[in-house]
Structure 1
Amino acid sequence: MASTPISIELPDIPAPPPLPSLRQELRIEPGAPLITGAPSWNLFDPVRHAFFQLGRAEFTVLSRWASGKMDGIGEELAAHGLTGEEADEAFNAVIEFASSNALTVEPIGQEAVAAYTAQRAAGKKAAWKWLLDNYLFIRLPLVKPARFLERTIDRVRPLWSIYSLIFFAVLALSSLFLVSRQWDAFLASFLYFFSWQGLAAYGLGLIFVKILHELGHAYTATRYGCRVPSMGVSFLVMMPVLYTDTTSAWRLKSRKQRLAIDCAGVATELMIASIATMAWVLLPDGTLRSVAFVLATTSWIMSLAVNLNPFMRFDGYYVLSDLLNVPNLQPRAFALGRWKLREVLFSLGDPVPEMAPRRLHRGMILYAYGTWIYRLFLFTGIAILVYNVFFQPLGLILAVVEMAVFVFRPIVAELKIWYEMRTRIFSGRRGKAWVWILGGLVLAAILPLDRSVSGYAVLTPVGASPIIAGEAARVEQVFVSNGARVSAGDPLIELTAPEITAQAAATKVRIAQLQLQFGRAVADDRDLSNRSVIERELARERNKLAGLEKRADKLILRAPVSGVVSGVAPDVHSGRWLEGSEVIAHVITPQNYDLQAFVREDDVWRLEQGAGGTFVAADAGGPSREAKLLEISTSAIERLDQPILASSNGGPIATDKDGDLLKPREAYYRVRLIAEQGEIGDEDYQIQLVPGSVQISTKGRSFAGWALGEVARMVRRVI
């Protein structure tokens, strides 16, 4: 029996559409090796003056694409270790890269033009988005210096010689040594900046130095055959900053040449600094010496403090990038940093974004975290600057935009990625642990855990009586010590004043003489006429003697009230001289204590009369007391009447001196409490003025409520 063949109809698989041609002006050039040591190539787009670094797979696809020979590309990718899905992914990635960067030539026709226009419109940012991203950083090209640089480069070529390097190195070291010999005079020159003439000179010097800085980059790039298409000015936080476009330096295979271009600006400023510093040493006082000082300080400070900063895209960043041989260091380091953060937090097991030596891998991750921390402080500082410089409410709006765009937007973008990965995150053990941790943090934020208000306080015995000599005297004997119980009238310290003793002795002699004259006046008619005069003078001398005796009696210092002796300094001993105005000791009645506290304006509204509190001394060995709130002032204090709490005396309240007055820098309200009554131990008898802090009980407040209140108060101040 003959068998009938079975025919199977296969579905028609449409052929892929032909790839559009690459633009003919694109060039592929050999580049520096990758961080793994593999070869690389640079794709140069002369229209946009942009460079793209290519690996082996990208080079293979683009080179065959440009030649139109796409047959056999799979075999060539396989020869380089890419097969199956990996080869397809690499091929599709190159196609997407070429399309997104407009590297292809669209077919001629209305549909193609419309598609290309739509593509450009889709990629173009809206005006408000552009302003959000660029209102603090705007770049304006001013000149195209390529021809000028090529014509004049021979005039500066000697600066790259070894002799020039030795000369400026010796000049810099010599000038710094000579300045160190006149360091006080050099520092005193800074006072010149505190005038409009000094500020103008500094501004002109800065412009001059920065122009030469950028020319240093431009000439060095030109020396190595790199074209400089533009130079101009960038506005960073409304401050003009010059720039030079040296993008073509990525064409150079030599890392040393790229480093030379990166360091050329700093090297130029250091040359200027060495010349200007030596000029300051040699020139006499006058205008030229001031100009030299401006150029020297501007160059040294700007070179070391600003240009070498690797966390912003200044010279230091590009130097670090070339030293590590990692182009586009920041985005690549950020990708590694985000990957490491997710692995530490959630242990997802995702592959590393790019392979690199272990040491470099760790360094890039640390660099990413360091840059994020630096930018957090930098952009927060810029937001505060914008808030204070611009008029309100514009300053507040710009500050909020600054924080939203440069601080919160990257955080929100990462959180969106976490949300998309939520299934994987919450399926792991660490993800589940984070659910509990975040839940606990949210609960802690909404619970009214803050149930007290703190303030700076001074504890004072209500019945404290100061012991003061009243006049200059010498200590003869001390009868008591700190902690001794005394009754009213008990002698404490005996003092003597030689001046009083001498005056009393002279007065007694004078009284004796007058009494003798008065006795003769009764028997002698010649003295009888002077009797009334002698009587008046005798009465005056007796009154004077009585006053001196009272003063001498007061030099025996006695307890004015019954209580406990406190505050007798160890240096109050026999033979010491006292000025008379200082407090030698106190006699206190320790059953009652007054507590003066100072509370910030943001917290005083939470206080209620009758609330309880606890005083804790600043000294760890000092007393603590339970207290009750009695009074709350209705207005902020204008001066601080407790100097022991002032910052100028080592206290916690920041103050400024206005003559003899201490004015707080912040708004503080005075509140008065009465400390707990009752007998106390001997260890507390030393108390006179005890600084510390007080915690006053209030109604509970949550952290979320506090944050919303702070934001509301800030908005009210602005509006």
Structure 2
Amino acid sequence: MFVGSGKNRCGGWGTDRMMEGFVPHLDSEVRLSPRTIGGQSGAIAHHQGLEKFFRFGCEEALLIGMIDGRRSVEDLLLGMQRAGVDWSGDDVVGFLSMLIRERLLLPPVQEFDQEKAEQLGRKTDPLRWWMTPLSSVVSLRIPLMDFDRPALRLSRHFGFLFQPVAVAVWAVLVISAMVMMALRRDELAGELSRLFDRQMWIPMLGIWLLCKMLHEAGHAVAAKRQGVRIGKTGVMFFLMAPLAYVDVTASWMLPRRMSRMAIALAGVYVELAVASVAAWCWWCLPDGLVRHIAAQVFVVAGPATLLVNANPLLRLDGYYVLSDLVDIPNLRSHGRRQLAGWLEYVLLAVPRESSLLSGWRVPFATGHAMASVVFQFVWMAGLVFAVSYWAKGLGILVAMVAVLLWAAIPLGNWMLRHVRDGDWRRRYRLGLSVVLIVPFGQWLWNQRSPITRRVPVVVRYHDEQIARAPSDAFVVGVFVEGGQRVKSGSLLMRLQNDELQVRHDQTSDRLDLAMRREVQLRRQGKLADAEIEKRQAENLKHQLEDLRRRLDELQVTAQRDGMVTTSNPIDLLGEFVTEGTELVRVSDAHEKELLASIGESDAPAYRRAVQSAQPVRVRLRGGVGITALPVSLRPRADVQLPHPALSAAIGGPLPVQPDPESGENRLIAPRFTATSPIEPVAAASVRAGQQGTMVISDDRTIGQRIWERLDPQSMR
């Protein structure tokens, strides 16, 4: 915590009431040390029992330095005035009240009654009592163990990683990995498209936790090399995402800025080294699961770390480095105080207080505050949406708590503070602002959702011939190979079914016999018996034709011009295949189509997309994006799985369940299907069986979308 130089007002505690004989005493576990902060003399207070650190500006440092257990409040006020500090009694009382709330100063329980103790913060605020469990829903920190001794052992074994030679090797490794990944960015994009495959969620979670543990270990080792005592380590859940943490706040006591910056950057330093090693492993390994995991490690430890931990607009490692670099302790607090003052001046005509900073640091802090507010609004909104989308109803509840803590309660407190203010002009301006903002909120609620709907699709060949075994048979001849061009009528395979051939021969013999007997009976004048034999011969003739057709089907021929897309049809040579077994596929690589599976809730929006007759974007796995024109839905929805690649059982997006009769997978809920053609140029860049999503505009309003997400069925 940082308390800047300036006056602090006391809320609800009169100067005369507190000055009646109260002698302030610092807690015995508080240690003060002088420090130059922002070019001015200041101090740092360390509460050893709470393991908290506080930074004070020059005026506050002067006052807290005079608290020796002998001076009363009146003596402290006189001492400040003799030092030339323009503080009033309310300012002194306000600062002492803050010290009591932060448990740096012993509360005046002995000298004052319960009413006064409550005014000094001894009694818990009901709002704070509710906010504590609510904040645990958004961010919950679980300390596990003291990490000082493990950090000491780690520093003995791995401290060399922070030596100058190791830093030089690290720089070469990171730069070379960045160059290599930039040169192979197209191939990397294909890996990134598979980053959040359902079957990789558990490995992804393990990679995330491992990288963050190494990150925090880097902080601990770097801090221990500087002689800093390490506090607790544990697990923190932020919006249900698990994170590791280690307490190195004692690094605030280090006098050199470069030392503090090195500790703040140590986690990023370690993760970038891990990302670089993973990048080179990805480059060296053959295609497969291990190579894909290496790509995941690179993304989590590299770009994700730079975007989050090294970002100075988030209050993480990058922020503390920037704060030390520009020598502005508690940069965010200063900047947001100045930004809030400017907004209050514009909206409510509240006089702006003088900045606690000076020179170029004033506009720098304000600019940083503006940038961080915009970025964090987008960032947190994205996180809130992601949690609400991923965790359904539970995620919506977490998102509502986050909005309550981050926006609703602070805004409500700010409005209440100005409503209680006696200045009617501020109340008028505040009411006018509300009158303007509330209709805007209602208008925004009724706007069409900017979030698009996504319809699962899969690429397949258009008019593809899938040759299957017409009956149980042996494959005795294979006359094509994968990738071979064939003409319609070309012989692809020959099957042999001896039993079918025997039945054919026997039926042929019986037919000949029946025809001879018919002739003989007619010569003998037995016309009735001859007619019976004739009918039997006709029946046998039909059977023989069917058997000949089935024998002809054992000669598998191409029904269209195209290319054999079965990879190795020769593997079937000599094999016994059952009826219906797939033998070979023939299609044209330039003739592909998109098979879309549309749920009943998405059907109205899809029909509107069809009526618009405008191409829509299609994003396929592998980093490929194409456009397609939606076509009309098939009339009826059913539970038949439209394509095996869409089954959730093999990583597809559609949940399935086994059919109790056939045992084959079927959809849990009925869905419509539609087939959209793919242009020949685009067809050459996609593969059959490639999954993806068709992006269509959402016909719901923002309010409807939120309300649907709050549906109790989404909690299941």
- TM-score under structure 1 normalisation? 0.57
Counterparts of 2:631 and 2:146, CA distance in 1? 55
Q: Is the 8 A contact 1:333 1:368 kept in 2?
A: yes
Query: Are residue 407 (structure 1) and residue 431 (structure 2) matched?
Result: no
Structural mapping, 1:109-508, within 5 Å: 120-122=122-124, 128-190=130-192, 193=195, 198-283=200-285, 289-352=291-354, 354-392=355-393, 396-421=396-421, 423=423, 425=425
Q: Is the 8 A contact 2:216 2:245 kept in 1?
A: yes
Q: Is the 8 A contact 1:250 1:258 kept in 2?
A: yes
- After superposition, give the CA deviation of every residue in 1:596-653 in whole Å (9 maximum; x if it has no partner): xxxxx99xxxxxxxxxxxxxxxxxxxxxxxxxxxxxxxx8884766573443698999
Query: Are residue 659 (structure 1) and residue 660 (structure 2) matched?
Result: no
Counterparts of 1:398 and 1:346, CA distance in 2? 33
Check 1:366–1:15 CA distance in 2 against 1; reply closer, same or farther (3 A cut): closer
- Residue 27 of structure 1 is aligned with which of 19, 25, 31? 31
Letter in 1 for 2:23: L
Q: Is the 8 A contact 1:379 1:403 kept in 2?
A: no
Counterparts of 1:196 and 1:202, CA distance in 2? 10
Counterparts of 2:211 and 2:300, CA distance in 1? 8
Q: More displaced, 265-274 or 297-306?
A: 297-306
Q: Is the 8 A contact 1:348 1:425 kept in 2?
A: no
Counterparts of 2:171 and 2:412, CA distance in 1? 49
Check 1:153–1:138 CA distance in 2 against 1; reply closer, same or farther (3 A cut): same
Structural mapping, 1:560-709, within 5 Å: 638=607, 642=611, 644-647=613-616, 658-660=674-676, 665=696
Counterparts of 1:69 and 1:424, CA distance in 2? 41
Letter in 2 for 1:659: T
Q: Is the 8 A contact 1:179 1:277 kept in 2?
A: yes
Q: More displaced, 123-132 or 655-664?
A: 655-664
Deviation at 1:713, TM superposition (A): 7.9
Counterparts of 2:372 and 2:140, CA distance in 1? 21
Deviation at 1:138, TM superposition (A): 0.5
Check 1:339–1:272 CA distance in 2 against 1; reply closer, same or farther (3 A cut): same
Secondary structure, in 3 states, of the residue corresponding to 1:321? helix
In structure 1, what is the equivalent of residue 103 of structure 2? 102
Q: Is the 8 A contact 1:209 1:269 kept in 2?
A: yes
In structure 2, what is the equivalent of residue 631 of structure 1? none
Counterparts of 1:380 and 1:210, CA distance in 2? 23
Secondary structure, in 3 states, of the residue corresponding to 2:143? strand
Check 1:411–1:637 CA distance in 2 against 1; reply closer, same or farther (3 A cut): same
Counterparts of 1:64 and 1:396, CA distance in 2? 51
In structure 1, what is the equivalent of residue 450 of structure 2? none
Counterparts of 2:92 and 2:277, CA distance in 1? 57
Deviation at 1:659, TM superposition (A): 1.0
Deviation at 1:82, TM superposition (A): 1.7
Deviation at 1:254, TM superposition (A): 1.4
Check 1:208–1:654 CA distance in 2 against 1; reply closer, same or farther (3 A cut): farther
- After superposition, the CA RMSD in angstroms is 4.6
Deviation at 1:48, TM superposition (A): 0.2
In structure 2, what is the equivalent of residue 78 of structure 1? 81
Counterparts of 1:24 and 1:440, CA distance in 2? 53
Q: More displaced, 309-318 or 112-121?
A: 112-121
Counterparts of 2:94 and 2:336, CA distance in 1? 21
Percent identity, aligned pairs only, is: 22
Deviation at 1:29, TM superposition (A): 0.8
Counterparts of 1:128 and 1:418, CA distance in 2? 23
Q: Is the 8 A contact 2:139 2:237 kept in 1?
A: yes
Counterparts of 2:190 and 2:610, CA distance in 1? 38
Check 1:710–1:244 CA distance in 2 against 1; reply closer, same or farther (3 A cut): closer
Q: Is the 8 A contact 1:209 1:299 kept in 2?
A: yes
Counterparts of 2:98 and 2:289, CA distance in 1? 59
Deviation at 1:287, TM superposition (A): 6.5
Counterparts of 2:91 and 2:434, CA distance in 1? 40
Check 1:81–1:184 CA distance in 2 against 1; reply closer, same or farther (3 A cut): same
Letter in 2 for 1:77: M
Secondary structure, in 3 states, of the residue corresponding to 1:122? coil
Counterparts of 2:441 and 2:278, CA distance in 1? 58
Check 1:115–1:229 CA distance in 2 against 1; reply closer, same or farther (3 A cut): farther
- Residue 55 of structure 1 is aligned with which of 42, 48, 57? 57
Check 1:181–1:121 CA distance in 2 against 1; reply closer, same or farther (3 A cut): same
- After superposition, give the CA deviation of every residue in 1:176-234 in whole Å (9 maximum; x if it has no partner): 33445555554444466465664444333322221111011111112222211111111
Counterparts of 2:82 and 2:224, CA distance in 1? 39
In structure 2, what is the equivalent of residue 530 of structure 1? none
In structure 2, list runs of 5 or more residues that go unmatched: 1-15, 447-599, 618-625, 634-672, 679-693
Deviation at 1:144, TM superposition (A): 0.8
Counterparts of 2:324 and 2:161, CA distance in 1? 23
Letter in 2 for 1:404: L
In structure 2, what is the equivalent of residue 560 of structure 1? none
Check 1:124–1:227 CA distance in 2 against 1; reply closer, same or farther (3 A cut): farther
Letter in 2 for 1:134: S
Counterparts of 1:330 and 1:55, CA distance in 2? 16
Counterparts of 1:25 and 1:439, CA distance in 2? 51
Q: Is the 8 A contact 2:629 2:677 kept in 1?
A: no
Counterparts of 2:22 and 2:437, CA distance in 1? 56
Counterparts of 1:150 and 1:173, CA distance in 2? 30
Counterparts of 1:399 and 1:243, CA distance in 2? 23
Letter in 1 for 2:21: P
Secondary structure, in 3 states, of the residue corresponding to 2:37? coil
Deviation at 1:395, TM superposition (A): 5.2
Deviation at 1:273, TM superposition (A): 2.1
Check 1:349–1:198 CA distance in 2 against 1; reply closer, same or farther (3 A cut): closer
Check 1:139–1:125 CA distance in 2 against 1; reply closer, same or farther (3 A cut): farther
Deviation at 1:435, TM superposition (A): 7.5
In structure 1, what is the equivalent of residue 45 of structure 2? 43
Letter in 1 for 2:103: A
Q: Is the 8 A contact 1:654 1:664 kept in 2?
A: no
Check 1:167–1:134 CA distance in 2 against 1; reply closer, same or farther (3 A cut): same
Deviation at 1:56, TM superposition (A): 3.3
Counterparts of 2:168 and 2:70, CA distance in 1? 55
Check 1:47–1:652 CA distance in 2 against 1; reply closer, same or farther (3 A cut): farther
Check 1:425–1:359 CA distance in 2 against 1; reply closer, same or farther (3 A cut): farther
Q: Is the 8 A contact 2:23 2:71 kept in 1?
A: no
Q: Is the 8 A contact 1:42 1:53 kept in 2?
A: yes
Counterparts of 2:695 and 2:299, CA distance in 1? 36
In structure 1, what is the equivalent of residue 68 of structure 2? 66
